[in-house]
């Protein structure tokens, strides 16, 4: 019979970004070729583990471990993974250029560039190509690779703005030289310098795009500037390149502001940690922390790793991760997250996750990846731009050729064609959506909401209905004693007797009774020998009395007083679970227990209705009576009860047909299939559950529904700003094309309005960073 050995994947393949990497498949094949029966991945305690099935007659445990480590080392040496910081990208086209160039390079297996995050995710075969060769290839394209921890210098960060300033200065000097009747060679030389400085990055980007057979906005600008020069309109051509480069530089600085809002997440975790090892406290880099390490966190310090409190008590400010406004009390056994701030008590934290597996690290990675996932509007504008730019070039060509055939002066026709090129350039359109998506996702992350892509950001704002799982989402998820109804004697005496018996049981209902007795500071006698009747209740001796506590089935065959029956039926009609309490054959009263609504959930639902959600629906596996009782208490519109997970999928399909765009909110365990059918799947408690982070489209990082209205309202604000940006960008193009075509506006005015509109849409998008 085969035996199993589980090994931490991160120890076998330490460089891979996640378990979806191709090296996992390669490792599986290598190990099975060695004779292991089966090799696959399992997730335990939030970590990916390699599960190795082997025959003990052929392999020892140590031999299996050696084989796995050797195979991992062999793969790690050959297939290298890098995350490189790219400097010098000034537009989304730059990311495409780098990707295309590297993907055509022999030995590069994966190259994915995020312009927003300025990151290149790279995998290459080191037997075919080395890292320096890849870096050299990137540099040949005109970009730089920054080493980790090293920021671009001030000049490198502002070089585009500096060159733009130089271009403007040379343009002004050349124009003044012309006015002062200086030699033409002098003013022309100055204007050529303005061309060179203003067009440096534009020409580079246009050339790289043309090499990949793409016409883009930079191509239009270079053609227009060259056309102005051909006409002898050097001043207007230089003005065009100066204003275009200035607009690009200012746009880049504005995007940097949104990018830094995301990078601030990564800076939350401390760089070092104080660890207890070999009887001493030593300081180590957080990347060197191991599972099981005990980290000392002093008052006011940030927690360096995900883990649980081993000793000490403190309040922890979790707002950087979950967005919770109030610190959360922590005691031994409670989870804590990297990047959160310890309060006034010193605690010892036992590390449960490596640095790169922490909730914070995964949030940063997912937010960065979210920039690369295009929204529906972004996909539309990309398609529009791909068609529109070539059409504009063809139209400009026709405008040069056709009018002179009918007697129109060639110089005038050529000039107007160049002005139309500038007017039709959809710069503002290209940046309108990405800038809003970047700002919206950054603001959401800062507020404790992880939105995993532009599509989900937009879709959140289109919702007309939201369906909720009940247990753990709308309710606390644990039973609570809600009613103590004494028929014979006082409430206090009834609860004391019930607690005496139930304190001997670990059942959740029993613990709820004990918890309420403790809350009321009651003291009770110890119960004697306890008899548990499965599915019915308990019998025990307390202070010489024969006690029984349980549901009605425990007392079958006995006459239950009418007063007790009446109270029991009332509580059952309210959707509560009941316990009857009996002493020496005399019924003392009834206890009612229920899974209670989360605090503030009614207010959340009212807020959702106010911001435009027309229907709120509960999908629950509980019976109709229980579901309806909760729904009435919190103000839900509709209840669908008695549903199995597959029934919830069908329910979501039906809701989609009835209401259009419907979200599903749940804990992402049993609710994952239903979430997949929803317009947007929203998970609760993303900071605490790996399943939520992996499977949901949106994760509320705190186990708190109050973030849901914020997420929906932010999405609607993002959609409004995207629409505003599209109206501005398309409106400017629509006005400028006829204005330049009929000669009402020249190149100078066209580029001024054009670049002004680009800055307007970027600044409009940045308003989302301050959204409240």
Q: Tokens for 114?
A: 């995020």
Number of H helices, E strands in the chain: 25, 29
Q: Please say if 469 is a catalytic residue.
A: yes
Partner residues linked to 141 by β-bridges: none
Instruction: Provide, for the chain, the percentages of residues in helix, strand and coil under a 3-state DSSP scheme, each rounded to the nearest 5.
Output: 50, 20, 25
Phi-psi region of 501 (alpha: psi -120 to 50; beta: other; left: phi over 0): alpha
As a whole number of angstroms, the distance between CA 541 and CA 539 comes to 7
Beta strands in 444-585 (DSSP E): 449-451, 465-469, 475-486, 530-533, 537-542, 545-550, 577-583
As a whole number of angstroms, the distance between CA 201 and CA 192 comes to 15
Q: Are 709 and 608 in contact (CB under 8 A)?
A: yes
Residue 308's SS3 state is: strand
- How open is the CA angle 525-530-535, to the nearest 5 degrees? 120
Partner residues linked to 336 by β-bridges: 307
Which letter, b or e, does each residue of 346-365 get, where b requires 16 or more Cβ atoms within 10 Å of its Cβ? ebebbbbbbbebbbbbbbbb
Which residues, 6 or more positions from 398, have their beta carbon under 8 angstroms from its beta carbon? none
Please state the φ and ψ torsions of residue 15, each to the nearest 5 degrees.
Answer: -90, -20
Residue 179's alpha-carbon distances to 21, 104, 235, 322, in angstroms, are: 64, 52, 12, 63
CA contacts within 13 A on the Cβ side of 321: 31
Q: Are 686 and 707 in contact (CB under 8 A)?
A: no
From the candidates 90, 218, 306, 469, give the one annotated as an active-site residue.
Answer: 469
Beta strands in 429-514 (DSSP E): 449-451, 465-469, 475-486
As a whole number of angstroms, the distance between CA 302 and CA 311 comes to 17
Chain CA centroid to CA 661, Å: 21
Secondary structure in 3-state letters for 629-674:
HHHHHHCCCEEECCCCHHHHHHHHHHHHHHHCCEEEEECCCCCHHH
Catalytic residues: 469
């Amino acid at each position: 019979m085969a035996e199993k050995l589980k090994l931490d994947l991160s120890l076998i393949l330490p460089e891979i970004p996640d378990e979806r990497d191709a090296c996992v498949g390669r490792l599986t094949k290598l190990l099975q070729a060695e004779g292991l029966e089966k090799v696959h991945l399992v997730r335990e305690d939030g970590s990916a583990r390699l599960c190795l099935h082997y025959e003990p007659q052929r392999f020892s445990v140590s031999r299996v471990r050696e084989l796995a480590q050797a195979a991992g080392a062999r793969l790690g040496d050959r297939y290298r993974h890098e995350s490189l910081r790219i400097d010098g990208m000034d537009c989304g086209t730059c990311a495409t250029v780098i990707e295309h160039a590297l993907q055509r390079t022999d030995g590069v297996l994966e190259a994915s560039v995020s312009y927003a995050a300025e990151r290149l995710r790279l995998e290459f075969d080191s037997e075919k190509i080395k890292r320096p060769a890849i870096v050299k290839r990137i540099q040949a394209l005109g970009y730089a690779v920054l080493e980790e921890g090293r920021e671009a210098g001030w000049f490198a960060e502002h070089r585009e703005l500096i060159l733009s300033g130089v271009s403007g200065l040379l343009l002004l000097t050349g124009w003044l030289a012309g006015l002062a009747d200086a030699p033409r060679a002098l003013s022309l030389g100055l204007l050529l310098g303005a061309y060179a400085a203003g067009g440096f990055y534009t020409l580079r980007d246009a050339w790289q795009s043309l090499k990949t057979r793409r016409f883009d906005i930079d191509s239009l600008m270079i053609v227009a500037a060259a056309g102005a020069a051909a006409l002898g309109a050097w001043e207007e051509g230089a003005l065009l390149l100066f204003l275009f480069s200035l607009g690009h530089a200012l746009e880049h600085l504005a995007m940097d502001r949104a990018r830094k809002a995301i990078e601030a997440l990564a800076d939350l975790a401390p760089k070092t940690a104080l660890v207890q090892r070999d009887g001493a406290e030593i300081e180590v880099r957080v990347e060197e922390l191991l599972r099981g390490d005990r980290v000392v966190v002093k008052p006011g310090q940030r927690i360096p790793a995900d883990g649980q409190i081993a000793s000490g008590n403190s309040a922890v400010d979790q707002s950087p991760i979950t967005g919770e406004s109030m610190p959360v009390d922590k005691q031994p056994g409670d989870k804590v997250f990297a990047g959160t701030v310890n309060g006034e008590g010193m605690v010892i934290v036992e590390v449960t996750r490596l640095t790169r597996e922490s909730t914070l690290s995964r949030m940063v990675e997912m937010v960065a990846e979210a920039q690369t996932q295009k929204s529906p509007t972004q996909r539309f504008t990309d398609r529009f731009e791909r068609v529109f730019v070539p059409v504009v070039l063809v139209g400009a060509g026709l405008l040069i050729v056709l009018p002179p055939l009918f007697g129109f002066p060639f110089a005038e026709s050529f000039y107007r064609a160049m002005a139309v090129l500038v007017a039709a350039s959809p710069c503002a359109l290209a940046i309108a959506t990405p800038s809003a998506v970047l700002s919206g996702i950054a603001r959401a992350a800062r507020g404790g909401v992880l939105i995993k892509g532009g599509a989900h950001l937009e879709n959140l704002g289109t919702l007309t209905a939201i369906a909720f799982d009940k247990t753990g989402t709308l309710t606390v998820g644990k039973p609570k004693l809600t009613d103590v109804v004494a028929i014979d004697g006082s409430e206090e005496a009834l609860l004391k007797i019930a607690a005496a018996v139930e304190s001997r049981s670990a059942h959740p209902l029993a613990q709820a009774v004990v918890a309420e007795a403790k809350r009321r500071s009651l003291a009770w006698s110890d119960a004697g020998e306890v008899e548990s009747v499965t599915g019915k209740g308990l019998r025990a001796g307390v202070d010489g009395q024969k006690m029984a506590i349980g549901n009605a089935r425990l007392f079958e065959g006995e006459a239950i007083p009418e007063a007790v029956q009446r109270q029991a039926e009332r509580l059952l009609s309210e959707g509560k679970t009941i316990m009857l309490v009996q002493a020496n054959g005399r019924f003392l009263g009834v206890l009612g227990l229920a899974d209670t609504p989360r605090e503030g959930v009614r207010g959340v639902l009212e807020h959702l209705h106010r911001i435009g959600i027309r229907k709120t629906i509960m999908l629950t596996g509980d019976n109709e009576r229980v579901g309806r009782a909760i729904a009435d208490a919190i103000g839900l519109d509709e209840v669908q009860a008695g549903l199995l997970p597959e029934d919830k999928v069908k329910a979501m399909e039906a809701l989609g047909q009835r209401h259009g765009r419907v979200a599903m909110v749940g804990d992402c365990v049993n609710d994952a299939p239903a979430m997949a059918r929803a317009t947007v799947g929203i998970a609760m408690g993303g900071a605490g559950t790996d399943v939520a982070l992996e499977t949901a489209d949106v994760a509320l990082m705190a186990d708190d529904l109050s973030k849901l209205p914020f997420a929906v309202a932010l999405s609607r604000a993002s959609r409004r700003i995207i629409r505003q940006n599209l109206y501005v960008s398309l409106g400017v193009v629509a006005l400028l094309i006829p204005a330049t075509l009929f000669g009402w506006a020249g190149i100078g005015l066209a580029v001024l309005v054009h670049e002004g509109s680009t800055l307007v849409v970027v600044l409009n998008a940045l308003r989302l960073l301050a959204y409240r």
